[in-house]
Amino acid sequence: MTKLFERRLIPADSPGAVASTTALALFAAMAVTAIFFLYYGASPVQAYFGLFHEPFGTLRGFGYSLVRAAPLALVALGTIVSWRSGFYYLGFEGCFIMGAAAAGWLSLLTAPGALLGPVPLAIFLPLVILFSLTVGGLWAGLVAFIRVRLGGNEVLISLMSNYVARFFLQYLVSGPLRAPGSLPESPLLPRDTWLPFILPGTRGHAGILIAVAAALFVWVLLEKLPLGYELVVTGFNPVAARYAGIEVDRRMVFAGFFAGGLGALAGMVEALGSQHRLMDGISGSMGFVGIIVALLSRLNPLAVIPVALIYGGMSVGADAMQRRASIPSSITFILESLAVLLVLASDILRFYKPNFSALRLSKLRASGGEDSA
C-alpha cells in the first residue's frame, strides 16, 4: 500500500516550508493551551485576546513589553553568535549578572561624593557599554579559552559559572555595595546614569534601541563580514574551517568573548533601564529565556527583535491576565514551553511530503465505498 506521506531524504528547506511548519507548531501549542484555559472556565478566544491586548494594544503595556524584550533580545543575540560558531555556551545568566554588576558598580561611582562624581550621560553611556561588554566578554571568553586549550566542556563549565556569578552578586549586594537598610541590595543608582525613557508615559527605555542596534550589528557580522563567514564555517564544520585556513580556536574564543559581551549588555540594560539598583535575582532567568528566544528565532539575528517582543509581551499579558481574570500566569509558561518544543520538533515535518496521488486515491476509495453501500 502506498503511504500518504513519503519520507524525503533531504528536508524541504524553502522559506515557505519553514514558515508553514513553524506556524503549524505555534497553532498546535495554542490549541493545547486552550484546554487549560477551558479548565479554568475561561474562553480561549477571550483569554488569547487578553494575553495579547495588554502588551500590544495599550501604550503602557507596550512600554513594559519593550522593557522585557530588550534584555531577552540581547541574550538571544549572544546565543546566536556563540552557537552559530559551534560554541554551545549556556552561561548567559552569569554574563547577565556580571554585566549588571559591572554597570551598577560604575554607576555608583558617579554618585555625588563617590570616586568619579557626576558624569554626563553622553560620556557615561559609551563607557558603561564598553565596560560591561568587556567584563562579560572576559567571563565567557575564559570558558571558550578553556575549551579550545584544555578541551573542557563548555556546556558544563558555563552552567556552573552561572552559580559563581550569582554568588558574586550576592556578595556585592550584601557586602561592599549594600545600601543601609534591611534588604541585601545596592542603593538606588544615580538618576543621571539611568537609560533614558523613550516612550512618554511608560517605562519603555532606550535599552530596546541598544538591542536593535546589536541585532543589526550581529546580522552584519554574520552575513556581511569575512570574520562572520569564518565564524559560521567554524560552527558548521570545524574540519572544513581548518582546511580553509581559518584559525578555529581563535574564532571560537572571539565568539565566546562577543557572545558574553552581549549577555552582559542585557544585564546592563536591566540594571540601568529597569531595576535601577542591584539585587540578588536581578537576572530573573532571562539568561535562559533569551536562549529560547534565539531558538525560536532559528538563530536568525533579524528575527530576534520581533520574537523577543512577542515573548516579552506575552509575559506582560500573562501578568495582566492573572490580575484581571485570576487565570494563573503559569499557563503562559506552558504556552511558551509548548511553543518552543513544538517549533523545534516541527523540523521533522520537513522530512515528509504529502503523496498527493495517494491522498486522492484514498479519497476516491472512500467515496467509492459510499457508492457501493
Partner 1 sequence: MKHTLEMKNIVKRFPGVIANDHASLTIHAGEIHALLGENGAGKSTLMQILYGFHSMDSGDIFIDGKRIQLSSPKDAIALGIGMVHQEFMLVPTFSVVENIVLGLGQGAGPMLDLPKASSKTRELSDRFGMAVDPSAKVGSLPMGVRQRVEILKLLYQDARLLILDEPTSVLTSGEKDRLFAVLRELRKSGRSIVIVTHKLNEIMELADRVTVMRDGLVLGTKSIQSTSQQELAQLMVGRDVNLHAVKPEACFGDPVLRVEQCVIDEGGIEKVHAVSFEVRAGEIFGIAGVDGNGQSELVEAILHLRKIKSGRVFLAGTDVTHMSVAAHRAKGISYVPADRRGVGSVAEMTIADNAVLGLQRRYTRGLFRNMRDSRSSAQQLTERFGIRGAGIDSAAGKLSGGNLQKLILGREITSGASLLIVEQPTRGLDVGAVESIWKELLRARQQGKAVLLISAEMEELLNLADRIAVLFDGRIMSVFDAPFESVDRIGLLMAGIASSPGSTSVASQETERDQTL
SS3 7: strand
Using CB under 8 A as the binding rule, whether residue 246 contacts partner 1 is answered as yes
Closest CB to partner 1 among 15 and 175?
A: 15
CA-wise closest residue to 293 among 266, 255, 261: 266
Using CB under 8 A as the binding rule, whether residue 224 contacts partner 1 is answered as yes
CA gap 322, 313 in Å, rounded: 14
Contact 262, 136 (CB under 8 A): yes
CA-wise closest residue to 253 among 97, 334, 149: 149
Using CB under 8 A as the binding rule, whether residue 244 contacts partner 1 is answered as yes
Closest CB to partner 1 among 84 and 276?
A: 84
Amino acid at 128: V
In the DSSP assignment, the letter for residue 332 is H
Using CB under 8 A as the binding rule, whether residue 249 contacts partner 1 is answered as no
C-alpha dihedral, 253 to 236 to 159 to 298, nearest 10°: 120
Using CB under 8 A as the binding rule, whether residue 10 contacts partner 1 is answered as yes
Site for partner 1 in 104-123 (CB under 8 A): none
Interface with partner 1: number of residues (CB under 8 A): 20
In the DSSP assignment, the letter for residue 327 is -
Phi/psi zone of residue 196: left (φ > 0), alpha (ψ -120 to 50 degrees), beta? beta
Amino acid at 243: Y
Interface pick for partner 1 out of 122, 239, 366, 373 (rule CB under 8 A):
239
Site for partner 1 in 13-72 (CB under 8 A): 13
Using CB under 8 A as the binding rule, whether residue 347 contacts partner 1 is answered as no
CA-wise closest residue to 67 among 235, 274, 214: 274
Interface pick for partner 1 out of 18, 53, 203, 247 (rule CB under 8 A):
247
Using CB under 8 A as the binding rule, whether residue 225 contacts partner 1 is answered as yes
Interface pick for partner 1 out of 128, 232, 282, 343 (rule CB under 8 A):
232
Kindly list the distances between the CA atom of residue 108 and the CA atoms of 1, 98, 156, 179, 257, in Å, as whole numbers in the listed order. 74, 15, 33, 11, 26
Using CB under 8 A as the binding rule, whether residue 229 contacts partner 1 is answered as yes
Interface pick for partner 1 out of 54, 93, 230, 336 (rule CB under 8 A):
230
Using CB under 8 A as the binding rule, whether residue 373 contacts partner 1 is answered as no
Pattern of binders to partner 1 over 124-143, x per CB under 8 A? Answer: --------------------
Using CB under 8 A as the binding rule, whether residue 236 contacts partner 1 is answered as yes
Interface pick for partner 1 out of 233, 271, 308, 314 (rule CB under 8 A):
233
Binding site for partner 1 (CB under 8 A): 9-10, 13, 224-226, 229-230, 232-233, 236-237, 239-240, 242-247
